[in-house]
């Protein structure tokens, strides 16, 4: 799947540059996907929401597990595009929603974060327990989901092969400090506003449900991801603050430990992820394939006239899974 196909992408002049493919992805009509929702009870008293597309597929058909990005889910453009493509192959897909996503609040005072490797491992074990033992299982993570997945892969090393045959991390902020600072600059503040528009009401609702846990005034005043992570993500998940979270939670240091075939795909014009923060070959282990096309934006990778079509990414992932495994 040569990245040269991106040369066909034509955006209007007013939207030229790094933001074209990122914003174009939000403008595309959402293709219809028939999801089957499963509520998965967890041992800690909470639950996950798994959305499956598996109707009519053989019981041992290959399965792609897709971990979504910040405030994403099975309705995200990349999830729908991947679901449509794998269905044409007779494959299956499942989107496990992180806690608080999927359309309803969870029971416990917990959310999700870029270093949530324990949650990734638990979700993958739950998926594996639901499929035939002969099933080839592949995992893909987009943005935050890719960060959490890479954290888990690096920690598991070769043991990950017990659960997965291959993996991919797409548009992943591998260096959280670099990406967190980048999203607060210039035009990127539009994306910050978009994320906080969804995140803050959820956090305020949690503060009301669990008095004394979070400072509602700090949440309401948050104007950046640094502010939000300092007021919500860090205290909820055992970090000392944003600096501690962004430092210890970064997945880049774990790339050397990955022990299953893994594609790490980042566009060098991603507005959220500075090119200088992307890994070089020396930063990754022998099982990691780094691909860094010049264009693609953040989870965009569109081809054709603006806003484009998002067929390239699903095809690239499936091609890697087939070859890598």
CB-based burial label for 108 (10 Å; 0-12, 13-18, 19+): middle
Rounded distance between C-alpha atoms, residue 112 and residue 236, angstroms: 9
Which residues are CB-contacts of 147 (< 8 A; sequence separation ≥ 6)? 114, 115, 141, 169, 172, 173, 174, 176, 249, 250, 251
DSSP assignment of 25-62 equals HHHSPPPP---EEEEEE-TTS-EEEEEEE-TT--TT--
Which residues are CB-contacts of 199 (< 8 A; sequence separation ≥ 6)? 70, 71, 228, 232
Catalytic residue positions, numbered: 143, 270, 298
Helix (H) or strand (E) holding 95: strand 92-97
Q: Residue 64: phi, psi to the nearest 5?
A: -105, 125
């Amino acid at each position: 799947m040569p990245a040269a196909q991106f040369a066909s992408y034509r955006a209007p002049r007013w939207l030229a540059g790094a933001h074209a493919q990122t914003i174009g992805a939000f403008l595309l009509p959402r293709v219809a996907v028939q999801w089957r929702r499963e509520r998965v009870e967890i041992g800690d008293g909470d639950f996950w929401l798994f959305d499956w597309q598996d109707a009519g597929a053989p019981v041992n058909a290959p399965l792609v597990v897709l971990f979504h990005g910040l405030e994403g889910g099975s309705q995200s453009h990349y999830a729908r595009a991947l679901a449509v493509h794998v269905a044409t192959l007779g494959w299956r897909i499942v989107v496990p929603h992180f806690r608080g996503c999927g359309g309803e609040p969870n029971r416990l005072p917990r959310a999700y974060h870029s270093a949530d490797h324990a949650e990734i491992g638990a979700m993958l074990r739950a998926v594996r327990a639901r499929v035939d033992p002969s099933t080839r299982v592949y995992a893909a993570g987009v943005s935050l989901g890719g960060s959490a997945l890479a954290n888990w892969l690096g920690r598991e090393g070769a043991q990950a092969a017990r659960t997965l045959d291959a993996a991919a991390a797409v548009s992943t902020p591998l260096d959280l400090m670099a990406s967190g600072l980048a999203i607060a600059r210039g035009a990127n503040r539009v994306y910050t506003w978009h994320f906080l528009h969804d995140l803050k009401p959820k956090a305020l609702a949690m503060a009301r449900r669990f008095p004394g846990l979070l400072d509602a005034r700090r949440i309401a005043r948050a104007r950046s991801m640094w502010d939000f992570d300092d007021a919500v993500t860090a205290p909820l998940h055992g970090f000392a603050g944003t600096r501690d979270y962004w430092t210890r939670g970064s997945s880049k240091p774990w790339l050397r430990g990955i022990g299953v075939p893994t594609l790490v795909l980042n566009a060098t014009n991603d507005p959220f992820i500075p090119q200088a923060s992307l890994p070089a070959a020396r930063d990754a282990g022998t099982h990691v394939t780094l691909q860094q096309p010049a264009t693609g934006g953040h989870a965009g990778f569109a081809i054709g006239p603006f806003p484009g079509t998002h067929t390239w990414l699903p095809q690239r992932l499936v091609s890697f899974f087939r070859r890598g495994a």
